A and B are shown apart, each in its own frame.
Chain A
């Protein structure tokens, strides 16, 4: 009976790591099929994908969309959080609800709405990486706003007041007091946005046409069936996410210890 929790823990460990383990292991496969028996290690598939121009272009696009949309989402999330936490505004609850609302709607529906709007109303927007980036800001803004809003406490408030009493302008207060004090939360919001944008498929799929992001490129490669190439590029995508998540983890929790 005593061992039961540990057996369960081990079984869950196997379940959770089975797909990722197989993905990474068979990215070093010597043959052409990413299934047992394993004969390797071979680095041919990594050499293959690093030399693939379409894939590397898609990787660049994903980086661009990820960094750009996260920067915008973090900036908008911060200013909204500052406005709502530091000023008495009528209708605060309603505004908060509206900022959080996209969180409760499927990515597919957000993407579909934007697709219909772009195609029917035009507005000078076409199907492009920029439009996909706009969609990514929509899905990430609620998270950035909530993370930063939640970390705005009385602690910064008194420092802000002190600065204001000493004659600092609002811009100076924000840039020299609020932003530095909230830096961990702001960085966390940025990194979280980046990983979500980096992994996002459906919005990018609906809103891009010629230049696509990495998940969309992987998706189109999937049509030709299982291949260790896909394992290699998948492992690479996973590696980037893990690095970002670990960076976020150390930033957020490393300091508290």
Chain B
């Protein structure tokens, strides 16, 4: 009897959060999934089990193209961000003196807290024709006249890499700092070179941190609308941009919902690809 009262109380405490998640996350998601199987006849919505939207996805080139563009951008961003963040986290963890470590880490990720609309705008000013980057390159005589940097895929990738390098620096640093220093010392004592120590000891042990960060990058990057919309111009569209076009100009909710489901599918694939190393409970 006392156990069941305890259980009831436990549920009483847990229920509000569960109900909230159910009502405002699970139910909307199911409604959206149902919407992706609905269809538009003229301007009226017809519920049911139609595959029209998914067929359209396979048939229309611009929809396909968006999926490919999104994947290309996301994979590039993930790879470049890891390549920049790992050495940065390494230097902060092992080269910067202990007493400056917290400060160095704090400084390295402080701009992470800029709102993403503001951050993308800031990159736009920096990369514009008259912006800082062009001015510096001109004054160094590296270029003869301003080059187009804003409104390109390069700008989108730069904006993303900036943000995710900071995020990954944080997750990889957390991983490196947990590594007992004796492991590295032991490897060195046994005659391993610095590279061998890294390749056979440090890298395998920090892989979960890297993969978890990379997965997070993938999820956040592929679903972001703002960065490609502000920085990329409209020369090529990503999946979130196409979703917003469907919602706005065409009010085609079923197609937008189907695209969202595709986005979820891509995230699920990424999850399965890295499930072996993922430690989501450690975020």
Q: Hey, which bits of chain A sit against chain B, CB under 8 A? A: 5, 8-9, 12-13, 15-20, 22-23, 26, 33-36, 76-77, 79-80, 82-84, 86-90, 95, 98-110, 112-117, 119-121, 134-135, 137-138, 141, 145-146, 170, 195, 198-199, 201-202, 206, 214-215, 218-219, 222, 226, 230-231, 234, 237-238, 241-242, 245, 249, 253
The secondary-structure label for the interface of chain B is helix
Interface membership of B84, Cβ < 8 A: yes
- Per-residue interface assignment for chain B, residues 29 to 60, with 1 indicating a CB less than 8 Å from any chain A CB and 0 otherwise: 10110010000000000000000000000000
A7 to B31, CA, bound (A): 53
Instruction: Provide the bound-state CA to CA distance between A33 and B32, in Å.
Output: 43
Of all chain A residues, the one with the shortest Cβ separation from B271 is A104
Which residues of chain B are within 8 angstroms of A231 by Cβ–Cβ distance?
122, 125
**A contact residues around B224 at 8 Å (CB):** 106, 108
Kindly state the interface size class of chain B when it binds its partner: 35 or more
Are A107 and B223 in contact, CB atoms less than 8 angstroms apart?
Answer: yes
Identity of the chain B residue whose Cβ is nearest the Cβ of A135 in the assembled complex = B24
Q: Are A36 and B135 in contact (CB under 8 A)?
A: yes
Q: Which residue of B lies closest to A16 (CB)?
A: B111
Whether B25 pairs with A218 at a CB distance below 8 angstroms is no
Give chain A residues whose Cβ lies under 8 Å from the Cβ of B118: 23, 215, 218, 234, 237-238
Which B residues from 106 to 121 make CB contacts under 8 A with A?
Answer: 106-108, 110-111, 113-119, 121
In whole angstroms, how far apart are the Cα atoms of A237 and B84 in the complex? Answer: 27
Q: Which residue of the partner chain, among A33, A80, A88, contacts B3 with CB atoms under 8 Å?
A: A88
On chain B, the residues within 8 Å of A115 by CB distance are: 247
Chain B minimum-CB-distance residue to A230: B121
Find out whether the CB atom of B13 lies under 8 angstroms from the CB atom of A201.
Answer: no
Contact A76 B115 (CB under 8 A): no
B96 to chain A, nearest CB (A): 8
B10 and A86 contact, CB distance less than 8 A:
yes
Interface contact B226-A202, CB-CB below 8 Å: yes
Contact B125 A226 (CB under 8 A): yes
Give A20 to B13 CA distance when docked, in angstroms: 43
A237 to B118, CA, bound (A): 8
* Bound: A100/B24 CA distance, A: 14
Q: How far is the CA of A35 from the CA of B128 in the complex (A)?
A: 8
Min Cβ gap A251→B in Å is: 14
> Is there contact, CB below 8 Å, between B31 and A120?
yes
Please report the C-alpha to C-alpha distance between residue A69 and residue B119 in the assembled complex, in whole angstroms. Answer: 23
Does B21 lie within 8 Å of A138, measured CB to CB?
Answer: yes
| Shortest beta-carbon distance from B145 to chain A in Å | 16
A-B contact list, 23 entries, CB within 8 Å = A16-B162, A20-B119, A36-B135, A83-B10, A83-B13, A84-B10, A88-B6, A88-B7, A105-B25, A106-B219, A113-B31, A116-B28, A116-B257, A117-B28, A141-B17, A195-B113, A206-B247, A215-B115, A215-B116, A219-B117, A226-B128, A238-B114, A245-B113
Set of chain A residues within 8 Å of B16, measured between Cβ atoms: 76, 79-80
Rounded to whole Å, the gap between the CB of A136 and the closest CB of chain B is 10
Query: Least Cβ distance of B106 to chain A in Å?
Result: 7
A113–B15 Cα distance when bound, in Å, is: 22
- Is there an interface contact between A116 and B35, defined as CB atoms closer than 8 Å? yes
Q: Which listed residue, A89, A107, A116, A249, touches B10 by the CB 8 Å rule? A: A89
Contact A121 B91 (CB under 8 A): no
Residues of B within 8 A of A17 (CB): 111
Nearest CB in chain B: distance from A147 CB, A: 10
State the CA gap A170–B8 with chains docked (Å): 13
Chain A binder among B61-69, B184-192, B202-210, B259-267: B259-267
